[in-house]
Structure formats: structure tokens, C-alpha cells
Amino acid sequence: MMKTIKYLLFILFCCYTTLSYSQVESALNDNILSPDSIAKVVKSMRDKLDQAKQKVKDNPKDERAWLEYSGVLQILKSVSLMQSMKPSVKYPAPDSDIQKEMDEMLEGMKQNIPNTATYAITRNSNIKPGEQRMSFDEIIEKWPDAVLHYPTYVAVSLRDEKRLKEICKRWYESGEFPPQQLNFAYNELASAEKNAIIFMGGCFDLYGVRVLQSVKDQFADKKIIMYPFLTNSFSIDKVTEELGIPKYRKAENDTISYASPGDFMKSYSRELKGVIEHFAKYSNRPIYFTITMDEMAKNALKDNLHSEGLLMKYSSKPYDNLAVMRRNFENVYLMDYLRESFYPQTLAVSAFDPKVNDGLNLYYIPALKALLQFYKESEDHNHYDKLYSILRTVIDDAKSCTKEVREQYLKSINS
């Protein structure tokens, strides 16, 4: 369990850097988690923390403001925990100043929004010894319509298919699920071969995938596996049993080191690679990873990952993946929603900030950049113009991103 918790701290860090900065040539898209890259994230989050605190001060009854404040603080706390990982430290602890601010924030929540899922969930993640925790079962039962927390409800229900389906259905029928995420998820799933296994890291595309499968009854043949869960034998055994393949047993000396972020990444990469090779060998099913996977996992498997657009196929043998990417763009993907949307980008109580949709749509740039270059070199002007127009629209519409980030993406498709 400790391995899973520690790895999820890295996932949280990687998801933040991916959604907040350009994936194209950003120094923060760093698969070795250097001290400089961590420092840049901390600085950026400190700035966001000040903005979030001001929103709470301006409207202390606004749950969304508190949620944003607690989210930024949680990331800072997680990075602090990550930095404290050492062989001599059995239980890493966050920076004392961060913990102090967390305590003050919880007291503010208790005074201003006491009887809410926002307070209950935030308190649970910062529970102190001897305090009574409200279980997620109780929280979901008490606040079943807390749309702001449906992402959390989904996350804690991933191993409870019945409850997961109920939550996804309620979320979809509320009218508050962003249609842009359903479009993105459709393009991911539609491009995979029949009976595919798709490994996901827990980025925002997960929710659209789950809604399509649970509510719309689409792509039932696709098996979705969260690879961050594959860090302990119990989780691995459960998945191998579901797939009907032999159990995975790692080498006795193959253990994960927590001496430093760099050591962790090296040892975890080795273990992840072994697990995926086992699935590939025995499942006899096509295996994919989403383009939203974190850089650490991507780096571990890069020799066998072949981009087909929004999905990367895992294969030890090279093949004409560009031809598959071309087929996906020309015949499979539904792309009109990127040109023009007839749905509101900001919903009344949506769990997602508009920048989440911007972040997802921007993945089309690295996903299809190679295809754009192919069209250019082969002088296929019709398809080049069409794809360039779509990607340019995605960049121009990413209003929540800084001008610098948009210019970086634009430079990528113009090179």
C-alpha cells in the first residue's frame, strides 16, 4: 500500500506538469524529476496558492473556491512528501509550514462550509491520529448529488463496478459532464483494436472513458486498467485473475528504492516494465497506453511504444504505425467538436475547470504532429490544411493557457 501511495504522489506531480505546461518542448516534461523541475512546479503552485486564497477570502461560502485552494495545497503537500523520501525515513512528512496552512484551511472550512462533501473529503485526506474519519461510503450516501466531487467518487469506486456505474450514470444525467471529454474518450477507444487492453494513468480522460462504457454501453470489449495500481501483488493478482492469465511474480531482488526521486523512478520503471511484459506475453490481446500517461511510465516503456495518435500501442516489433495514425485521423476520429462546440464550455457546478478541457484537447498536438509532418513532406495539401486548421484551432481556443504556452504549441506545428 505504501508503494501505491508514494507512486500516486509522482502521478499527481506528473499530471500537474503535463496539464499546466507545454508537452512539446517544456523543461517540466521531465522524466527524471530533477530538482529544478520540482522547484519550478513549487514556484508555480505557490503563485496559484495566493490566488486561490484570495478567492476564498472574497467568498468564504464558495465550495469551488475552497476546493481550488485545498487542491493547490494538496499538491504542494504531496511534492513536499515526495522530496522527503529517504531510506532512513519510514513515514515521510510534509513541510511543517505547509501542514500548518493545511490545518488553518481546514479550520476555515469547518467554520464556513461545515456540512459539505468538500469539507468531509478534505478533512479525510488530512486526518490526524485519533480523529474519526468519515468513510467514502458515508460521504457518497450523504451527498450523492455533489457534482463537484464526482471525479473523486469515480476514483474511489474504480474497483466497485456497480457503484461506479451508478455514479457515472448520475453524473451523465445531471447534464454537468463536459461533452468535450466524451468526444476525446470516444476517439481514444474507437481507435483501439477489438478486445484491447488499455492502460491509463488516471488523467482526466479516464472519466469520459468510464462514462462511455458504464452509461452509453460502448466499447465493452475494451479492458481499462489503471497502471498506478500495479504496484503491489494484490492488485496485480486481481487483474491477472480477471484476464485469466498466470500470476506475475517479480524477481526477489527487484524492489523499489525510495532513496531519492531519481532512484525511485529507475527502480519503478524496471518493475513496471516487467509487469507489462508479462501482460503482453500471456494475454494475447492488443495492448495500448493513452497519450496522457505520465512521463515516468512512458520513459520506462518507450522502446516498445508506437504512437497511433491518442493511443500508443505496446509492441516489441516495429510496424507502420504512421499508417494507423493516418487511418485514425482520416476515418476513425470524430474531430468536428474541435472546430466548433455547441455546448457551454463552463457549466454551472461542473467538477472541471475549463482548462481541463483545454489540457485534453492540447494532447492532439503531440498525438498528430508526426502525421502533420507526413502530409507536409508528401505534399498532401488537402489533409495537411485540414489537420493544421484543427490543431491551430485547438491552440487558439486554449484560453486558459498562457500566451507563452500557446506560442510553444504553435511553434511545434509550424516547424
Q: How confident is the model at residue 289 (pLDDT cuts 50, 70, 90)?
A: very high
Ranges 42-46, 84-88, 322-326, 366-370: which has the least confidence: 84-88
3-state secondary structure of 223: strand
Write out the DSSP string of 383-410. Answer: HHHHHHHHHHHHHHH-TTS-HHHHHHHH
pTM: 0.85
Ranges 19-33, 99-113, 116-130, 335-349: which has the least confidence: 19-33
pLDDT at position 345, please? 58
Mean pLDDT of the region 384-401: 93
pLDDT at 55 over 90: yes
Average pLDDT, the chain: 84
pLDDT at 251 over 50: yes
Who's near 229: CB < 8 A, 6+ residues apart? Answer: 4, 235, 239
- E strands, 15-85, are none
Who's near 84: CB < 8 A, 6+ residues apart? Answer: 92, 93, 94
3-state SS, 265-301, equals: HHHHHHHHHHHHHHHHHHHCCCEEEECCCCHHHHHHH
CB of 149 closer than 8 Å to CB of 134: no
| Alpha helices (runs of H) in 84-144, residue ranges in sequence order | 96-112, 117-124, 136-142
pLDDT at position 118, please? 94
Q: Domains of the chain: which residue ranges?
A: 34-134, 137-174
Burial of 273 from C-beta contacts in 10 A (0-12 / 13-18 / 19+): middle
pLDDT at 123 over 70: yes
pLDDT at 125 over 90: no
